[in-house]
Amino acid sequence: MYNRVPGAWLLWLLLSLPGLAQQAAAPEPAHAAPDLAHLLPAIAALPDSSRVDQLLEFTDVLVQGGRYEETAPTLREAAAVAQASGRPVLESRVELSQGYVAAQLADFAEALRHYQRALDLARAARDVPRQIRVLTRISGLSYQTRDWPPAIRAQQQALGLARQYHLPKAEAGVYGELSNLAGMQHRPAEALAYNNQALAMYRAQHDTVSYYGSLLNQGIVLKNLGRYAESARSYRQVLAYARRTRDSTFILYVDVNLPRTLLRLGQAAEAEQLARQSLALATRTHNLELLHEANDLLAAVQEQQGQYQAALGYQRAATRLQDSIFNQQKSQQLLATDARYQARARQAQIGQLAADNTRQQRQLLGLLAGLGMIVGLAAVLWRSNRQRLKANALLERQKAELQTQRDHTTQALADLRATQNQLIQKEKMASLGELTAGIAHEIQNPLNFVNNFADVSAELVAELKEAQAAGDGEEVAALADDLSQNLGKIHQHGQRAAGIVRGMLEHSRQSTGERQPTDVNALCDEYLRLAYHGLRAKDKSFNATLETDFAPSLPVVEAVAGDLGRVLLNLLTNAFYAVQQRQQAGEAGYQPTVSMSTRQVGGSVEIRVADNGTGMPAEVQAKIFQPFFTTKPTGEGTGLGLSLSYDIITKAHGGSLNVASQAGEGTTFTVRLPC
Amino acid sequence: MKILVVDDEPDVRVLFEQRFRREIRSGEFAFSFAYSGEEALGFLRAHPSEVVLILSDINMPGMSGLELLRHVKSDPLPPPPPLVMMLTAYGDAATKQQAEQLGADDFLTKPVDFTALRDKLHAIENR
């Protein structure tokens, strides 16, 4: 029994040094950390900025060793030096480090507080690149918290700064980050668009490494979008570059990613070859994750080739590796977070063993045994009391944390509601913008008539005076009739223009949600003209055949005309966009056609908006009613149009909105409203 | 001189009749009106060799003014071939170029300057 004690001690030693656990996983040399007590006198004579440099470097060494909790005194010292220096840029640097350590310890509220102060200080120092760096860190927190909106807000802020101060490198970086964030939220189309912006900027800046990094990311995003051929092309470009420059990291990334894409393309042989390369590399470097991925890949390759026996073998190996990775991760995690706690538990065990030993000796030496027991009991009592105090403190801390989290959640909900309202208003204004050009054109016609009839009436009045002077009563009467007719025309066209303006005001007004009897045919006709002229005004070369088939004597529908009009405008704008896209593809003999029809079907009125545009594949159709989904390039669509339309038709009108589409052939949207 | 005005706005008729009342009264100009491209083609076929000038809007429902222009310039109509003057609210270079390629003889933008139009019509008559 006594012999087991040294073994337990060794285990305790191992566990009490988190650095060792990491060394076992990554065979890097241990960072020889200097002692703070020795460091302080050595740097005492240096200028403030160098002292902060040294202290933060020391912090970095501890952080790299996983010794986060030990950074506190160093960071406190650095904060004191920075504050005494009165230089916000130094303080900002320290706050950034403090934030990073807090984030590593999973105290996100604390991390955010530090980052926010770092941001304020960087702003005070007018150090724009530093502000962008801090914003990137804030955004990085989201990868841990899985809460994305703050990350996007931070990146948008960084984007604004990069643009305002012409920092193209930083701007490209922001696009890369936005792409990653979109990817994490399963929005590959958006991820691709951002990544393309990053690519274009890196290319313009001749930043080769970043360019190929983005290109690799493009391969991943394209694969997620199901565009496998393009994905493979991106990967191969990266691979060619990596081979040229012998960049082993890039080669590894491509080796891991390309085979999946190749498998989708049915190029199993090449996928297998690459997977075997990865397997060899993984075996050589004892990289468990890579081994798992390679085995998993080979299983997929074999399965596709019908080699089920071999596939099963690889699959088993992959599953085993998965378990070991999980266990390794799990134990590393446990070690990192609970090292101290476990160390105390081991200590207690040792205390127990020591007590057992004492009991044995008591049989020989009663007095010593009694003494030993009292000592042991005192130790146990003292420890249990300490643990109780600790447990209380922990409980208090958890309670406070819960309260903070609840406050955060309430705030987040309020923010979300406000943002939602803003977005709805923004979408309305965006569609109003689309209307404006159409409205201008629609108003121009009646106004021309008003002006023309007014002009010609002035001439008639002059003639009437002449006829009167000449005593030609018949001519006077004829001219008076013409004048009266013209006044009627002026009034009529004035009313027509006023009606259009009224419609525009109705569109932009906050909807009262009150349903009124509405003539669906008239509304359809009005919005078809507005949408077409709106697009024509933006792109004068655009022309489309408009077909209408409005059922006569359609029953009146109870509808909120402004809201229903917004839906129609949205469907029509999309239809025109789709035919325009197809036309720009330069297909021979293509005649862009948008048709709109109405009819009564049972107890409902049906409105169909059909186009012979680009159409949509099934996976896009499945998402079009989701908020923020858009296939338009960034900045062209809010991604809210169809989602709001869907709500307006189904929730506010009790109707239905459906889509039918064939990629490359066209799309039909069908609205049904109860009448 | 017989002029065919093609526009989907019916009030164009009243306007032209008043603007050119002196010329109409003196028998100098005679205006006919069609409210669509299709109607204009029908009129031309029913009244062979009468129309000297067609004044057509471009944006009309159904057959557009440009299609009408194409028909007039490519279909065998009884001689003499009428002149075609296009009228549009979209005075952009692309539309103008398209009209010229199809053989339009002139191109005017809305709102119409009637004084200028009158001069053009007199110039055609006095050729």
- How far apart (Å, rounded) are the C-alpha atoms in residues A218 and A233? 10
A contacts of B92 (beta carbons < 8 Å): 540-541
Same domain flag for A499 and A620:
no
Q: What does the domain layout of chain B look like in residue ranges?
A: 2-125
- Segment A565-572 mean pLDDT: 91
B contacts of A482 (beta carbons < 8 Å): 18
- Segment A215-223 mean pLDDT: 92
Residue A667 lies in a domain: yes
- How far apart (Å, rounded) are the C-alpha atoms in residues A434 and A411? 35
What are the tokens at A605? 């009125």
pLDDT of residue A610: 97
Residue A497 lies in a domain: yes
Residue A278 lies in a domain: no
Helix spans in A185-224 (H): 188-204, 208-224
Q: How far is A457 from chain B (nearest CA, A)?
A: 9
C-alpha count within 13 angstroms, C-beta hemisphere, residue A334: 9
Look over chain B and give the mean of its residue pLDDT values, rounded to a whole number.
90
pLDDT of residue B46: 92
B contacts of A455 (beta carbons < 8 Å): 114
Number of A to B CB contacts under 8 A, please give it: 42
pLDDT of residue A665: 92
- Segment A212-232 mean pLDDT: 91
In this prediction, what percent of chain A has a pLDDT beyond 90? 34
pLDDT of residue A444: 85
Of A557 and A335, more confident: A557
- How far apart (Å, rounded) are the C-alpha atoms in residues A264 and A304? 10
Of A345, A364, A386, the last residue of a domain is: A386
Rounded to a whole number, what is the largest CA-CA distance in chain B?
A: 39
Report whether pLDDT(A254) > 90. Answer: no
Question: Backbone dihedral region of A666: left (phi > 0), alpha (psi from -120 to 50 degrees) or beta?
Answer: left
Residue A304 lies in a domain: no
- Residue A307, SS3 per DSSP: coil
Report whether pLDDT(A302) > 90. Answer: no
Of A370, A386, A402, the last residue of a domain is: A386
Confidence of residue B40 (pLDDT cuts 50, 70, 90): very high
Of A628 and A100, more confident: A100
Report whether pLDDT(A2) > 50. Answer: no
Q: How confident is the model over A376-416, as pLDDT tens digits?
A: 888 888 888 888 888 888 888 888 888 888 888 888 888 88
In this prediction, what percent of chain A has a pLDDT beyond 70? 84
- The burial of B5, by beta-carbon neighbours within 10 Å (0-12 exposed, 13-18 middle, 19 or more buried), is given as buried
Instruction: Answer whether A94's CB lies under 8 Å from A56's CB.
Output: yes
Domain count of the fold of chain A: 5
Domain extent, residue A4, equals 1-30
ipTM of the complex: 0.90
Q: Is B92 on the interface with A (CB under 8 A)?
A: yes
What are the tokens at A508? 């932009």
Look over chain A and give the mean of its residue pLDDT values, rounded to a whole number.
82
Confidence of residue A354 (pLDDT cuts 50, 70, 90): low
Residue A255 lies in a domain: no
Q: How confident is the model over A285-298, as pLDDT tens digits?
A: 777 778 888 888 88
- How far apart (Å, rounded) are the C-alpha atoms in residues A115 and A153? 14
- Residue A598, SS3 per DSSP: strand
| Pick from B14, B19, B90: CB nearest A540 | B90
Architecture of domain B2-125: 3-Layer(aba) Sandwich (3.40)
Instruction: Answer whether B112's CB lies under 8 Å from B5's CB.
Output: no
What is the DSSP code string of B77-115?
A: PSSSPPEEEEEES---HHHHHHHHHTT-SEEEESSP-HH
Least confident of A116-125, A274-283, A445-454, A483-492: A274-283
Of A467, A487, A510, the last residue of a domain is: A510
Residue A610 lies in a domain: yes
What are the tokens at A444? 């121009």
Residue A47 lies in a domain: yes
Q: How far is B66 from chain A (nearest CA, A)?
A: 11
- Segment B78-85 mean pLDDT: 87
Confidence of residue A351 (pLDDT cuts 50, 70, 90): low
pLDDT of residue A329: 59
Same domain flag for A47 and A57:
yes
Domain of residue A664, CATH code: 3.30.565.10
How many residues does the structure list for chain B? 127
Confidence of residue A31 (pLDDT cuts 50, 70, 90): very low
- Segment A537-555 mean pLDDT: 84
Q: Between β-strands B106-109 and B83-88, what pairing exists: parallel, antiparallel or unpaired?
A: parallel
Same domain flag for A3 and A47:
no
Q: Is B110 on the interface with A (CB under 8 A)?
A: yes
Instruction: Answer whether A605's CB lies under 8 Å from A598's CB.
Output: yes
Report whether pLDDT(A637) > 70. Answer: no
Report whether pLDDT(A511) > 90. Answer: no
The 10 Å Cβ neighbour count of residue A236 is: 15
pLDDT of residue A10: 33
Residue A237 lies in a domain: no
Distance of CA A362 to the CA centre of its chain: 69
B contacts of A486 (beta carbons < 8 Å): 14, 18
- Segment A253-266 mean pLDDT: 86
Same domain flag for A665 and A535:
yes
- How far apart (Å, rounded) are the C-alpha atoms in residues A306 and A17? 50
- How far apart (Å, rounded) are the C-alpha atoms in residues A108 and A401? 11
Same domain flag for A26 and A82:
no
pLDDT of residue A16: 33
Residue A658 identity (one-letter amino acid): N
Place of tokens 């074999």: A302
Report whether pLDDT(A604) > 90. Answer: yes
